């Protein structure tokens, strides 16, 4: 099989390429150049591209570089900025996987005559009764099925995840055995286009990045009675459930329970005000068709699954209602809700937590 392996410069994708080569496949490595700006974190730095190239040399395989910077700006960076401007908490890594690391890469692979693409994600793909299933990775602590939940039958049928059956320790052992330069390389944790260092003015990487692109506005912080108790420098940087950095936090244990960007207002209250009986997810995607029934729902990359039932939210199937078995802390608008079957590790689908209107928030 001719396989195009997405090599990010990390140990997982390095070992993914090595395993496929050992299995007898014709392997070509590719690194996607996504972010052309300043970067000192994530998987888009110049050193990462160099690491991927040199690992390919060690393995004796060809290495390509695809320039997808325009697609990355259109599908990841621009929406990230726009979401902040309207008070939504974006998930850029998921959008990068959705639009670049799978959609765009699969499209390019087909044009070039490859049978499949492969990545170093810690998840598994199996075919059961004629249906492709995306499953959690063998290493629960490193499982990445959440961030690639959007893969449908076509994508799953043309994707290989070679390290999904291994623990992280086993991946590093394999890399060390082969003498790969990435064997001890730390995992990337941050958004690749946000620098980890502060600006000369003292702004954080995210704040500095956004201030260069949109106007950030100060806002009043009020309690549930509407009494002003403080202020924040940028309402666009405040997230539902946040406690740090908002007036009235500290010993009072107040949390952000509402962010109203148009009115320049942040409402804080007790943690109990964050509990909800249900969430609404927009633009649902399904691995093998729409589903209604009991599921486990994961609300962050490594969050604890929560028991719930899901059903279609409207006649157009443009939304899904998640009814919790027990009241749960509300999920920030813009974050992904990922659905797993109640019997195992199968990813059924996912949706994006919908933004509530001001009336609905009240």
Q: Where are the domains of the chain?
A: 2-178, 216-269, 275-361
Higher pLDDT, 322 or 190: 322
271-276 long-range Cβ contacts below 8 angstroms, 24+ apart: 271/329, 273/224, 274/240, 274/241, 274/329, 274/330, 275/327, 275/328, 275/329, 275/330, 276/324, 276/327, 276/328, 276/329, 276/330
Residue 344 confidence (pLDDT): 81
Q: Please report, rounded to a whole number, the percentage of residues in the chain having pLDDT higher than 70.
A: 89
Question: Per-residue pLDDT for 262 more than 90?
Answer: yes
Residue 203 confidence (pLDDT): 56
For 149-158, 320-329, 351-360, which range has the lowest pLDDT when averaged over its residues?
351-360
Average pLDDT, the chain: 90
Q: Which residues are catalytic?
A: 96, 192
Question: Per-residue pLDDT for 199 more than 90?
Answer: no
Pick the CATH number of 2-178 from 3.40.50.720, 1.20.810.10, 3.40.140.10, 3.40.50.620: 3.40.50.620
Residue 193 confidence (pLDDT): 84
Residue 47 confidence (pLDDT): 79
Q: Which of 257, 262, 261 is nearest to 224 (CA)?
A: 257
Residue 38 confidence (pLDDT): 59
Residue 359 confidence (pLDDT): 36
For 61-70, 81-90, 195-204, 209-218, which range has the lowest pLDDT when averaged over its residues?
195-204
Question: Per-residue pLDDT for 191 more than 70?
Answer: yes
CB atoms within 10 A of CB 177: 11
pLDDT-derived band at 159, boundaries 50, 70, 90: very high
Residue 35 confidence (pLDDT): 84
The CATH number that domain 216-269 falls under is 2.30.30
Measure the CA–CA gap between 160 and 138, rounded to whole angstroms. Answer: 15
Residue 205 confidence (pLDDT): 84
SS3 207: helix
> Which pLDDT tens digit goes with each residue over 243-256?
988 865 445 689 99
SS3 54: helix
pLDDT-derived band at 358, boundaries 50, 70, 90: very low
- Find the mean pLDDT for residues 325-330: 96
> Which pLDDT tens digit goes with each residue over 88-131?
999 999 999 999 999 999 999 999 999 999 999 999 999 999 99
CB atoms within 10 A of CB 197: 11
Place of tokens 């943690």: 271
The answer to whether residues 162 and 15 touch, using CB atoms and an 8 Å cutoff, is yes
Q: What is the dihedral of CA 337, 288, 285, 257, to 10 degrees?
A: -20
Contacts of 39 (CB under 8 A, 6+ apart): 45, 192, 193, 195
Question: Per-residue pLDDT for 3 more than 70?
Answer: yes
Residue 148 confidence (pLDDT): 97
Residue 314 confidence (pLDDT): 67
Residue 111 confidence (pLDDT): 97
CB atoms within 10 A of CB 351: 27
Higher pLDDT, 180 or 358: 180
What are the distances in angstroms from CA 319 to CA 308, 315, 348? 16, 9, 15
Residue 186 confidence (pLDDT): 87
The answer to whether residues 134 and 347 touch, using CB atoms and an 8 Å cutoff, is yes
pLDDT-derived band at 194, boundaries 50, 70, 90: confident
Pick the CATH number of 275-361 from 3.50.50.60, 3.40.50.620, 2.40.30.10, 2.40.50.140: 2.40.30.10
Sheet strands (E) in the chain = 2-6, 26-33, 62-67, 116-118, 123-128, 131-136, 159-160, 219-222, 228-232, 255-260, 265-269, 275-286, 293-298, 306-312, 319-329, 336-341, 347-353
Residue 129 confidence (pLDDT): 94
191 phi and psi angles, rounded to 5 deg: -65, 125
Place of tokens 């602590």: 141
Question: Per-residue pLDDT for 169 more than 90?
Answer: yes
Residue 315 confidence (pLDDT): 58
Q: Specify which residues 274 forms β-bridges with.
A: none
Q: Which of 27, 37, 32 is nearest to 60 (CA)?
A: 27
Structure tokens at 336: 């992904």
Q: Please report, rounded to a whole number, the percentage of residues in the chain having pLDDT higher than 90.
A: 80
| Sign of the dihedral defined by the CA atoms of residues 2, 6, 9, 13, in that order | negative
Question: Per-residue pLDDT for 49 more than 60?
Answer: yes
Strands 116-118 and 131-136: unpaired
Taking the whole predicted model, whether its pTM rises above 0.85 is answered as yes
């Amino acid at each position: 099989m001719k396989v195009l392996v997405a090599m990010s410069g990390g140990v997982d994708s390095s070992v993914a390429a090595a395993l496929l080569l050992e299995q007898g496949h014709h392997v070509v490595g590719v690194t996607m150049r996504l972010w052309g700006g300043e970067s000192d974190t994530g998987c888009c730095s110049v050193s990462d591209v160099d690491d991927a190239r040199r690992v390919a040399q060690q393995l004796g395989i060809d290495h390509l570089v695809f320039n997808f910077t325009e697609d990355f700006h259109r599908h990841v960076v621009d929406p990230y900025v726009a979401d902040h401007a309207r008070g939504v908490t974006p998930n850029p890594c998921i959008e990068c996987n959705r639009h670049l690391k799978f959609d765009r890469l699969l499209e390019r692979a087909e044009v070039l005559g490859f049978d499949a693409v492969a990545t170093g994600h810690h998840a598994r793909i199996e075919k059961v009764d004629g249906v492709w299933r995306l499953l959690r990775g063998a290493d629960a602590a490193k499982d990445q099925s959440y961030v690639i939940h959007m893969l449908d039958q076509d994508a799953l049928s043309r994707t290989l995840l070679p390290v999904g059956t291994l623990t992280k320790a086993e991946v590093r052992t394999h890399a060390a055995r082969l003498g790969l330069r990435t064997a001890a390389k730390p995992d990337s944790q941050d958004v690749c286009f946000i620098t980890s260092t502060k600006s000369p003015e003292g702004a954080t990487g995210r704040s500095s990045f956004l201030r260069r692109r949109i106007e950030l506005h100060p806002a009043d912080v009020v309690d549930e009675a509407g009494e002003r108790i403080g202020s924040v420098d940028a309402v666009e940087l405040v997230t539902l459930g946040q406690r740090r950095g908002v007036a009235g936090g500290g010993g009072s244990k107040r949390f952000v329970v509402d962010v109203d960007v148009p009115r320049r207002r942040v409402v804080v209250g007790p943690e109990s005000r964050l509990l909800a009986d249900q969430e609404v997810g927009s633009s649902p995607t399904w691995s093998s068709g729409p589903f209604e029934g009991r599921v486990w729902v994961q609300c962050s990359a490594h969050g604890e699954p929560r028991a719930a039932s899901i059903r279609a939210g409207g006649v157009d199937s443009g939304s899904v209602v998640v009814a919790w078995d027990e009241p749960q802390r509300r999920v920030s608008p813009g974050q992904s809700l990922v659905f797993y079957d109640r019997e195992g590790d199968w990813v059924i689908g996912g949706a994006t937590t919908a933004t509530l209107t001001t009336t609905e928030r009240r």
